Amino acid sequence: MYVAEGAGLAAHQVDVDLRLFVYDCYDDDGVRHVGHVLNPVVEPAAPDGRRLLDAEEGCLSVPGPRVGVHREEKAVVRGLDKEGNEVVIEGSGYFARCLLHETDHLNGLLYTDRLTKRQRRSALREMDDLIEGVFARRVERARSIGAAHRAGPEQPPHPVPPLAVRTGDGAP
């Protein structure tokens, strides 16, 4: 996830057969949220409290493009932590988008499935154009994160500054 400058990652994106995702994501107030959830279920929003936001979104599994997607402004996800305890994660803004995007992954949906056919074709064409550059950047980033890790445990685990998380190649 950090190599690809992502804000979230679903287990099966890296061939792990679990209904699990991890996140390291800032909300629109600049608060960092780091964690994981197993078997996440999105709680339906109250009909009168629904508010959709249209904001750019990308995906580590669709390297390169960022496309506007309508999502709920707020999200509540229920699930379990790795100890089996029930957890309830509430998010707003970009963090809500991350929670919904990652839960979609575990339900077999990519954000491109929420686009019109024309938008999807355009996004996939853009991915074809950008993918080599994105993968080259990931290789460089893997090297620098590996070097920081070898330098010692005092190195910060997430060297990406907050705003860079949102301008990476495909977060979440």
Decide if residue 59 touches Zn ion (CB under 5 A): yes
Kindly write out the interface string for residues 90-119 of this chain, putting x where it contacts Zn ion by CB under 5 A and - elsewhere: ------------------------------
Residue from 5, 102, 126, 154 carrying the catalytic annotation: 102
Residues 6+ apart with CB under 8 A from 63: 4, 127, 130, 131, 134, 135, 169, 170
Which of 51-59, 78-86, 113-121, 128-136 is the region at the interface with Zn ion (rule: CB under 5 A)?
51-59
Which of 32-40, 53-61, 127-135, 154-162 is the region at the interface with Zn ion (rule: CB under 5 A)?
53-61
In angstroms, the CA 24 to CA 32 distance is: 7
In angstroms, the CA 75 to CA 92 distance is: 6
**In the complex, which residues of this chain contact Zn ion (CB under 5 A)?**
59
Active site amino acids:
102
